[in-house]
Amino acid sequence: MTTPLRAFGPLDQTRTGWQRAALAIGRPGLDLAVQGPDAMPVTMSNHTHNENWFEQLMRPLWGLAAAADAVPDDLWDAVTATIARAVDPGDDWYAGDFHDGAQRCVEAAALGWALATVPERLWEPLAPKAKDHAIAWLAQAYTTGVVDNNWHYFPVLVGHGLDAIGADRDPSIARAHLDRIAEFDLGGGVFKDGPQGRVDYYNPFAFHTYALLHYRLGGDDRFVEPAAEFARSFRSWFAADGAAVPYGRSMGYRFAQGSLWGALAAADVEAVPWGEAAGFSRRLLEWWWDKPILTPDHRLSVGYGYPNDALVEQYLTAGSPWWASKVFTGLLAPEDHPFWNSEPTDLEPETAVFPAAKTIHIRGHDGDVMRLNGQDWREKMRGGKDTYARLAYSSLAGFSRSVDGPGLEAAAPDGALMLSDDGVHWRGREDSVDSRVGEQGLTVAWCPWEDVTIISEVEAFWSGWQVRTHTIETARRLHTGEGAWCVPRDGAETIAGEFAAIATSRGIRSSVIPEDGRERSVIYPVPGTHMYWPATVLPVVTGVLEPGTHVLKARFYVGRHERPA
């Protein structure tokens, strides 16, 4: 596997350099897609093969429509010819008809966006019959029911595409979708992703990115101020080295994490000083540029920090990672825009509390971000208890996704307390009875069994240290396992001493110091469970609790230079 740095060379942080980067990322995916559905690899997915192929064709357009002037004519010609076949119901490459909640609704939004942005590239070259097919297909997409969450923006973007090509539509349909989006507003620029949704990266790379693109295309500023307000708090999600703290579903979309910053530039909305927006955007893409995320033929792989299908949800397939192309929407801002000319602003330590998200972000002295988390799991998402319900997530050390199997090595409890009633099978937090956040930290009450109640209190500090205290009332005998953070296994140095368990690798130090007599050790989680590294080591503390009331307390550290707590 290779990195964008190795495949394409150093990232040039000018607008011209970003145009080249958008083409470098997008073209390998499109070169495969224009060969038709039979050329697509078969990968895990809950969609049909043709839907997966159409996803591969559409998603690179999020970036290439913004970088249109840098895209060669031969690629536009191939894409346009392929779109003509994909919307033709008599063609073997037909993307398919719509039904409520169909995956095609997602990709129809990308097509609507691209048609509205570069009609001269994708619409004008089409033959009259192909234009008729495109209008009919998009009309289906515009009127089809969608999943009741951020998907309500998809018909809105399709509507912009229909407007751009001169097709008729009923504006009340888009208005109804926008009205429904307004009902998800929790205040403070935060939206829940549907009636049972969580607050995660779907705020910046879906709700607010779409709101700003909608404003750019149609002038409707209804959701511009919420996007700007969210952006002002979104600062705390990013570390000084560029990393976004990983959390929640769809992490397989990688650098889409930073799409909001470019969308602000595309809409010319200065929510934060342009030097800040530019800095977050540039550092994020630079962070990803040297990660091994490409296949040997330079296509984006499925995974996160490295290729691994086990790290993503059931709906991510071979074409899905090109949602990352949204990070390039800032290319719609001209070369003389301050987004491209401002010097990036340095970051300072900060603590930011998000009551609506039950979250606290702490950017410490080393510039890394710790997320203290009180939200509950997403039971319908593969790996939802790990992506949503761990107590802490780190931009420096990521997190693990547990797998079925015996032993704490399968549970991989970094940033989490795990329990077992047989010493073999482990479970962590899923739902919560109550969650509260404040300047002093996080408090979560949860019940892993009906006869076990836990109150977990977590404090984190700019030094990189964290204190976790768990008050446990149990009617059964329990084994406990609690982790600091993983470090890469290659070259790791470990200590399991009288007072602490410590692991150090590649300049990252992770340690735990128990204050309650628990045993200290270093375990080797099942390979392929970690978001950043294929194999890891993890300092943990373990113990056994008899029925009764117990208090567990320990100090945990992850950082580059160990500082006093």
Distance, in Å, from the CA atom of 280 to the CA atom of 253, rounded to the nearest integer, reads 17
* 55-76: b (≥16 Cβ within 10 Å) or e: bbbbbbbbbbbbbbebbeeebb
Band of residue 519 on the pLDDT scale cut at 50, 70, 90: very high
- State how far the Cα of 42 lies from the Cα of 52, in Å rounded to an integer: 9
State CA 351 to chain mean position distance.
21
Q: Is the pLDDT of residue 563 over 90?
A: no
> What are the tens digits of pLDDT across the range 392-426?
999 999 999 999 999 999 999 999 999 999 999 99
Angle ∠(349,354,356) on CA atoms, nearest 5: 170
Stronger pLDDT, 269 or 438, i.e. the higher one? 269
Which pLDDT belongs to residue 283?
Answer: 98
**H-assigned helices in 34-72:** 49-58, 61-64
**Dihedrals φ, ψ of 447, to 5°?**
-130, 95
Three-class DSSP category at 84: helix
What pLDDT score was predicted for residue 272? 98
| pLDDT score recorded for residue 47 | 82
Neighbouring residues of 196: CB distance < 8 A, sequence distance ≥ 6: none
- pLDDT band, very low/low/confident/very high, at 1 (cuts 50, 70, 90): low
Tell me the average pLDDT across 112-128: 98
Radius of gyration of the chain (CA): 24
Q: What is the DSSP letter of 2?
A: B
**What is the topology classification, in CATH, of domain 4-341?**
Glycosyltransferase (1.50.10)
Element holding 386 (H helix, E strand):
helix 384-388
CA distance 559 to 464: 6
Range 33-59 average pLDDT: 90
Res 237: pLDDT: 98
pLDDT band at 34 (very low <50, low <70, confident <90, very high): very high
Q: What is d(CA 63, CA 25) in angstroms, rounded to the nearest whole number?
A: 9
* Average pLDDT score over residue span 46-62: 93
Is the pLDDT assigned to residue 357 strictly greater than 80? yes
Query: Is pLDDT at 12 greater than 70 in this prediction?
Result: yes
Residue 177 and residue 152 in contact, taking contact as beta carbons nearer than 8 Å? yes
Fold for the domain defined by 350-559: Beta-galactosidase; Chain A, domain 5 (2.70.98)
Going by pLDDT thresholds of 50, 70 and 90, the confidence category of residue 565 is: low
CA distances 535 to 44, 296, 301, 304, 336, Å, are: 23, 21, 18, 14, 45
- Average pLDDT over the chain reads 96
**Least confident among 223-227, 240-244, 324-328, 429-433:** 429-433
> Is 288 within 8 Å of 303 (Cβ atoms)?
no
User: Which residues, other chains included, contact 458 with Cβ-Cβ below 8 Å and sequence gap of 6+?
Assistant: 372, 391, 392, 441, 442, 443, 444, 466, 467, 468, 469
Q: State percent of the chain over pLDDT 70.
A: 99
Kindly report, residue by residue over 161-206, the tens digit of the pLDDT: 999 999 999 999 999 999 999 999 999 999 999 998 789 999 999 9
Residue 97, classed as helix, strand or coil, is coil
Listed by start position, the domains of the chain span 4-341, 350-559
Identify the pLDDT of residue 439. Answer: 82
Nearest Cα neighbor of 5 from 341, 338, 285, 423 is 285
Of 195, 188, 182, 109, nearest in space to 144 by CA: 109
